[in-house]
Structure 1
Amino acid sequence: MRRLAYTAAVLVLASSLLGVPTAAGAAPAGPKQVIANLFEWNWVSVASECTSFLGPRGYGYVQVSPPQEHVRGQEWWVAYQPVSYRIESRKGTRAQFASMVSTCHAAGVKVIVDAVVNHMANEDKTGPGWAGSAWSHYNYPGTYQAQDFHHCGRNGNDDIRNYGDRYEVQNCELVNLADLDTGASYARGRLAAYLNDLLSLGVDGFRMDASKHMPAADIANIKSRLSRSAYMVQEVIFGAGEPITPGEYTGNGDVHEFRYGKDLARMFRSERLAYLRDFGVAWGYLPSASAVVFTDNHDTQRDDPGVLTYRDNGIYALANAFMLAWPYGSPTVMSSYEFGNRDQGPPSNSAGLTNNATCFSGGWRCEHRWQVIANMVGFRNAVNGTSVVNWYDNGNNHIAFGRGTAGYLTINDEDGAINGRSYDSDLPAGRYCDVIHGERTGSTCTGPVITVGSGGWFTANVAAHDAVALHIGAKLP
């Protein structure tokens, strides 16, 4: 078992890996795949971030939290308990939401909505909803009544207990949340109407929450009712030996690959980075073209101690650097707020409205702005479409690989520095800004400059638990 804690020296290094990037220049060339999950940000803040950072930095998408009217309360999970489909929540009004979408589009960033389509609220809260709508369990006036929900008759309270039973998982209730009968035409039509309303406001796609709890055919039917094409990624958590598998849902669109973040954390924490040489499909994962990956998301950072989160500082930055450099799946970068207990909601005012997000202040951690992570988004865009070349490992925790002739990453997660080693990059000869430690600003770099020779070779010193990354977009004149 390798180290589980860092020395004081490594904590100093972690601080440098978390450095705040300087102002961005032009957006990187090439398709923009990376999703920034601005979890529980309000609409005014999302709009501002699209303009000031996400667009200039090359993020292709922003994922926003559920926008529909929800139960009242301070906990984060109230957003996942709808009481109507009015676009009115603690994150802002319908007009603010629409303005946010337009502003993000103007910045070159597409918008994915976290869509709660499996269920309505449970009995933890009482009405009215955030925007004043009356409701009670199984009765949402003007939207649903008791006949529109599953009542599975299991376990004395209709709740799911046995994840080995397909019927129970897809017809009983997830922690007492009123489970919609998504096999019925009325519920399908009503859900499609909600999604179509969001599409009318310019939304580009949906994260389909709790997809595992709906048959894939139900989601396919709802998708067929949409007014136009839209990107779709489905939340289907893999469970070993369970009858419902993520692969069932790939016909509808992309699927979250939950195994990825847990396995990546294990490699960095206690096993060997050398094992990552074939990371992806060879590990039993979904096909790369169907997978959306992440180091952590809002659920796993609260419920799964096996994943890396913002609290892991430098090692978290390095794991994200690997994710953004490695060609498997489409990456989502988490952007969190600090929390001291599982239920804690976002920074809010006394009325319950979510505060404007001010990065690195007031509880907002903003991992998407950490220097390593933000700069590796540019790396990802620069190497898009290239394959892995020139893999190297020392059999333990020093790895290196190129992406065609467009980029090269080496990670040293050993406890000691690796100095004076030469790397075979396939990069064109020239001077490159090391984007792990610096920013390219015009013809200069705020960090180390690495010279690549005519054969693609370069020599670098890599400190313990650190990395060096070069890409064609950071080549200096």
Structure 2
Amino acid sequence: MTRFRRAAVLGVLGALLALLAACSAPAPAPDPAAEPATDGSGHDVGVQLFQWTWDAIARECTDELGPAGYAWVLTSPPQEHITGSPWWTAYQPVSYRIESRLGTREQFAAMVQTCHAAGVDVWADAVVNHMTGQDEPGVGWAGSSFEHYTYPGIWTPRDFHHCGLTEGDDIGSYLDADEVQTCELVNLADLDTGSAHVRATLTAYLQDLVSLGVDGFRIDAAKHMAPADIAAIVAPLPPGTAIAQEVIRGSNEPITPEQYLGNGQVYEFTYGKELQGVLAGSPGLALDLGTASARYVPSDDAVVFVDNHDTERNGSTLSYRDVDYAIANVLMLGGVYGTPQVYSGYAFEDTDAGPPQDAAGAVLDASCAADAGPGTDATWVCQHRWPAIAGMVGWRGVVGDAPVVDTWSQGEAVALGRGQRGFVVVNAGDDALTTTLATSLADGDYCDVLAAGCAEAKVEDGRISVTVPARSAQAFDVSGRP
């Protein structure tokens, strides 16, 4: 064989070997930053199922909350309360027996176990600031007798504050911290939470709920107790017990949410109030909510919400009736400030109206319409199932703690990306939005995870073209590929 032919053959063999090596070479490792989050950093969303029975919550954990990616559910107060149809009867305790119009102790315990099996933690709304606001003696839901300041076997008149600062002992000014924390909130018998006996009794109630598997507590009316009192009540609870305190921020008031951060998180009411405002004018400002430290607690300390059972009734935030309600939730779940809590209640005309009840006053199990969504004519509104809201809970789980990137706003529209994992566009205008936007998503086809089925959009050269109908949103993530 001549030198030329031998060189040619060797060249061909070299080329074949190189080709074989290329074919057998391992594929490049995926970029973790472009893969769905696996550390649970986006699995933080809670849902308040207001006035849902224990049996209904158990079914919802299995059928909807767990599969959708909700991390925890907040129940209504589980203790014995006064009788009556209004919603607020649940917030007037008579005893600390776990017997209420929402179910029995056994049903509550079974619900907690069922939710845990579905991967959902359970938080309970804890009413520990006060007892009833009834001047006349009565009998509670489970048969316990009571008077305004006497609860046999639990409290005597010496266990309550009698502030003597105002006529009738009711709070007269929120600019006076002593009044707010020692006088009565609309005649509700105010417990002396500075007393060792009172603290120990309240701690025992919370410990009883923990023994049933409860993972955390919303501390109702926390603003009306001194921070040190709450600290003493919750300190004996197991490490890791979640604490979220209701401390409504007021203009120039001496009591602020920041004073309670040593005990756990606080509900940041400013977020919901300002989100309502920016959606009415400049939605792009929604991206900045939580960054003004003078008006907000730090993100890790905040539980944020679009509405809750109080604010949907007093009009201080949006409610299920508002056209911007769904997209407000999309913006909350798409952002990085705070721990989000979705709200889900029932339709009402009278702000005092309670949920559907039977002839004996027991609440009927919630039932969600198959087409639950904005404008659905149903008793139980079931906002947590609305496609835009449930879809964003899943989206948040995919993006995890990826940073906010690729922000854009124009007129009544706003968009943001979360690293290389997700992108969301919100149109708060009255007309459809058609635009092309820069994104960090890899090129390819994506499904709108807020839509039924797979409504496709394509990323080409790092840009995505969308047409978003009026008052709606679209969201894309790396797990939603056709």
What TM-score do you get using the length of structure 1 for normalisation?
0.89
| 1:178 aligned residue | 189
Change (3 A) 1:319 1:345: same
8 Å contact kept, 1:28–1:58: no
For the pair 1:348 / 2:357, whether they are aligned, the reply is yes
Q: Return the alpha-carbon distance in structure 2 between the equivalents of residues 362 and 434 of structure 1.
A: 27
For the pair 1:324 / 2:340, whether they are aligned, the reply is no
| SS of match in other structure, 1:233 | strand
For the pair 1:370 / 2:386, whether they are aligned, the reply is yes
| SS of match in other structure, 1:331 | strand
| SS of match in other structure, 2:84 | coil
Q: Return the alpha-carbon distance in structure 1 between the equivalents of residues 50 and 154 of structure 2.
A: 27
| SS of match in other structure, 2:111 | helix
| 2:406 aligned residue | 390
Identity %, equivalent residues: 50
Q: Return the alpha-carbon distance in structure 2 between the equivalents of residues 281 and 328 of structure 1.
A: 8
Q: CA deviation at 1:362?
A: 5.7
Where do 5+ consecutive residues of structure 1 fail to align? 1-26, 439-445
User: Where do residues 254-269 of structure 1 align in structure 2 (5 Å cutoff)?
Assistant: 254-269=265-280
| 1:411 aligned residue | 426
| 1:473 aligned residue | 479
Q: Return the alpha-carbon distance in structure 1 between the equivalents of residues 328 and 475 of structure 2.
A: 13
Letter in 1 for 2:479: G
| SS of match in other structure, 2:458 | strand
Summarize deviations over 1:139-165 as a string: whole Å, max 9, x none. Answer: 001111101110001222110011000
For the pair 1:399 / 2:451, whether they are aligned, the reply is no
8 Å contact kept, 2:279–2:286: no
Change (3 A) 1:198 1:74: same
| 2:116 aligned residue | 105
Q: CA deviation at 1:201?
A: 0.3
Summarize deviations over 1:46-78 as a string: whole Å, max 9, x none. Answer: 000000000010000000000000000101000
8 Å contact kept, 1:35–1:62: yes
| 2:297 aligned residue | 286
The alignment's C-alpha RMSD in Å is: 1.5
8 Å contact kept, 2:80–2:99: yes
Q: Return the alpha-carbon distance in structure 2 between the equivalents of residues 70 and 153 of structure 1.
A: 27
Q: Return the alpha-carbon distance in structure 2 between the equivalents of residues 200 and 431 of structure 1.
A: 49
Change (3 A) 1:273 1:110: same
Q: CA deviation at 1:90?
A: 0.1
Q: CA deviation at 1:228?
A: 4.6
Letter in 1 for 2:478: I
Higher alpha-carbon Rg: 2
| 1:441 aligned residue | none
Q: Return the alpha-carbon distance in structure 2 between the equivalents of residues 138 and 335 of structure 1.
A: 34
8 Å contact kept, 1:82–1:116: yes
Letter in 2 for 1:64: T
Residue-pair matches, total: 437
Summarize deviations over 1:342-389 as a string: whole Å, max 9, x none. Answer: 110011111100001101386111000001000000111111211110
| SS of match in other structure, 2:131 | coil
Higher mean alpha-carbon deviation, 126-135 vs 455-464, is at 455-464
| SS of match in other structure, 1:248 | helix
For the pair 1:151 / 2:170, whether they are aligned, the reply is no
| 1:380 aligned residue | 396
Where do 5+ consecutive residues of structure 2 fail to align? 1-35, 370-376
| 1:191 aligned residue | 202
Summarize deviations over 1:10-52 as a string: whole Å, max 9, x none. Answer: xxxxxxxxxxxxxxxxx99534101010000000000000000
8 Å contact kept, 1:237–1:256: yes
| SS of match in other structure, 2:64 | helix
| SS of match in other structure, 1:354 | coil
| 2:175 aligned residue | 164
For the pair 1:451 / 2:465, whether they are aligned, the reply is no
What TM-score do you get using the length of structure 2 for normalisation?
0.88
| SS of match in other structure, 2:391 | helix
| 1:443 aligned residue | none
Letter in 1 for 2:448: D
Q: CA deviation at 1:397?
A: 1.2
Letter in 1 for 2:463: W
8 Å contact kept, 1:28–1:473: no
